[in-house]
Chain A
């Protein structure tokens, strides 16, 4: 498979995953805020922090309110990770890999881009936001489903798996980080008695992990259990450990992968280690940050191994 095509498929998968995650994050956040006591000061701006977009956001907006945050995450084409920008990237990538990706995928991506262009205002205003995000999430799942049932399990598929799982691993660490950040923010707030549990519950839900968590952990929502589940569960497709195993599987099916596999294994061992803390605070956030950097390095290594055109 052409290196350049491989790279585009990898990015298409990453962006597809990102659109779904962003849509889910925004839709879940609504509900979290409804559950918190009104006096508790937990803002939409957290979504910007989770995604490490503080400086990009500051360039565009001064007011850190709901409207601006949602607009920035969904409809802002100056934000490269926004839904609109991600979709454009998916469309360009699929358009330039049409010889690898099934033709229907191109039609679906095209339809979704048109839908988002035509209904963007709905997504930003609160009243119809739910339908808009719902459609977005379903469309992403439809595309992923189409690829799953129709793509040959060749190198193109493995590239797709690499992109999907690296994006997921990264997203899960960011969701955890967001949870801890929120908890720290409300810690000294006397009104926020039950907020810890509400926030952890929200982290679990935003990863679509509610049922799988309860079944696997047989426990109510508790910080240490949530962390353990989202880090190490061997069956849940968004746990960091699961994503890393998938990365290993994909890499094993690709040529010249020894270095990449060794590097993923190293990160995997760290993830499967111990993240128990009495309090989930700064120390845990530092660990998550290190993990994000390690994932980023895997990304670079994938690039130098398979995408670099100077061979």
Chain B
């Protein structure tokens, strides 16, 4: 049997990305829905298999760290795309640019005059206790005043259909290569739809990334040498590091390929000797960048790198210390930050956030642990979280203790009614699954936002955790122009 949208079981109280009411697709998704229901069960199955073998052949993989060693797992992918209208996306993109612009002004301020603290907009102790504030960065002025050049912002859609920012990833956000690969898979799997629907292309990201990076070069009038610095093959995002280096025509290097010379310039070791490096797109954490300044035992980094950066001999993207702004306590202040620096109202709202260091808010959180999601302020990847409605009593007690012993380190948010989209389950059944969206924003002299982003989907029924490290999968994300349609 083929797909019957009337049988699709919309979840009460959740916004569905594709289907508005039983049997009715939202306008931008209408052609897709019609097309999918025109396929037979065999068609669907064969396309699903085609997608799987494409992924295998392309070697799209990510690494899962387990006790039994690291496993390279094929990227879990759902062939039903998620569709967003061009109109709505353009507005969202503006909001994302606005947000990153303000965050960069905020970071730059923190490492210089700290006006925002002096004006009492953000409390000083929040910064003092921030794990990601780097004293070593004080007084440094990166070009354009930009610290976070590449940002991955997680958006969710609540039951009202509105996008909210769930978190900003300003350190080493990953996932953009999967966004690009998802599109190539879809082109192979559902080529017919691309002929009919105006789907905006996503492929210009590497180009934009390269231009942004090149614009940071400290040397003028030369072709800048741009490298991607990876921790190596055992990192879960290694695939992406190699992918981006390849697409940009940049060298993929590890720490051991680089040295800092007596002139404080960074060089890479080549078959012809040493060659100067201008821009490093680093995909390793601050703490491993330079053993002379941070973790002395780090073998991933380059001794002297901070010195070279501080002296302006090399550009680092993202700049060290940029992570201070993706602290989840800072997150709660982003609307005020936007107002303070840009004198604008935020175009995309935050999710309501309770700060546990505030006595009143903490009291509320402790009393409502079963309804809230509790997150540590400085973790990423969905680790160390408590999802209240899915937790046991013992877990809640554990978190209550954690919060009381270090209130600054915890925030809580209401459990969101994460939107759903039809997802292929088994041979040919479509069921709603929860998802989020991670667009990527670049900022150098100008700003750029990916067309759509990476849609991550919780493949388990009812689950709200979309992280790939926690069993999530992904979908292609279509920004569809409904104004004009191809004939």
Give A contacts to B, CB under 8 Å: 1-6, 92, 95-96, 98-99, 103, 106-107, 110-111, 114, 155, 159, 254-256, 306-307, 309, 311
Contacts and interface: CB of A to CB of B under 8 A. Distances in A.
B245 A3 contact: no
Interface string B250-261: 111110110000
Contacts of B272: 1, 255-256
Contact of A311 (B56, B57, B250, B273): B273
6 contacts: A2-B251, A4-B269, A95-B233, A98-B246, A111-B57, A114-B56
Given A110-B56, A110-B59, A95 B271 contact: no
B250 to A, nearest CB: 7
Contacts of B243: 98
B274 A311 contact: yes
Contacts of A110: 56-59
B59 A2 contact: no
A2 B268 contact: yes
Chain B, interface residues (CB within 8 Å), range:
20 to 34
B77 to A, nearest CB: 16
Contacts of A307: 271
Contact of A2 (B57, B233, B257): B257
Given A95-B242, A99-B242, A309 B271 contact: no
By secondary structure, the A interface counts as helix
B245 to A, nearest CB: 4
B271 A306 contact: yes
Contacts of A1: 270-272
Given A96-B233, A255-B273, 6 more contacts: A4-B254, A4-B257, A92-B233, A99-B242, A99-B251, A311-B274
Interface of B: 56-59, 233, 242-243, 245-246, 249-254, 256-257, 268-274
A3 B270 contact: yes
B interface: dominant SS: mixed
B257 A309 contact: yes
A98 B242 contact: yes
A92 B233 CA distance: 9
Contacts of A103: 246
A301 to B, nearest CB: 14
Contact of B250 (A92, A96, A99): A99
B271 A106 contact: no
Contacts of A98: 242-243, 245-246, 252
A231 B242 CA distance: 41
Contacts of B242: 95-96, 98-99
Contacts of B57: 107, 110-111, 114
A5 B257 CA distance: 10
Contacts, number: 70
Nearest to B243: A98
A99 B227 CA distance: 11
A2 B250 CA distance: 11
A255 B274 CA distance: 12
Contacts of B251: 2, 5, 99
Nearest to B54: A107
Given A96-B242, A98-B243, A2 B253 contact: yes
Given A1-B271, A2-B269, A106 B59 contact: yes
Q: Give the interface centre of A95, A99, A255 by most chain B CB atoms within 10 Å.
A: A99
Contacts of A155: 271
A7 to B, nearest CB: 9
B226 to A, nearest CB: 11
Contacts of A255: 271-273
Given A1-B270, A3-B269, A107-B58, A309 B256 contact: yes
A13 to B, nearest CB: 15
Nearest to A91: B59
A88 to B, nearest CB: 12
A146 to B, nearest CB: 14
A246 B14 CA distance: 67
A2 B56 contact: no
A3 B233 contact: no
A3 B58 contact: no
A159 B272 CA distance: 13
B59 A95 contact: yes
A107 B60 CA distance: 10
A106 B58 CA distance: 8
A157 to B, nearest CB: 13
A6 B270 CA distance: 8
B269 A99 contact: no
A193 B92 CA distance: 85
Contact of A309 (B59, B250, B269): B269
Contacts of B245: 98-99
Contacts of A106: 59
B433 to A, nearest CB: 29
A2 B277 CA distance: 12
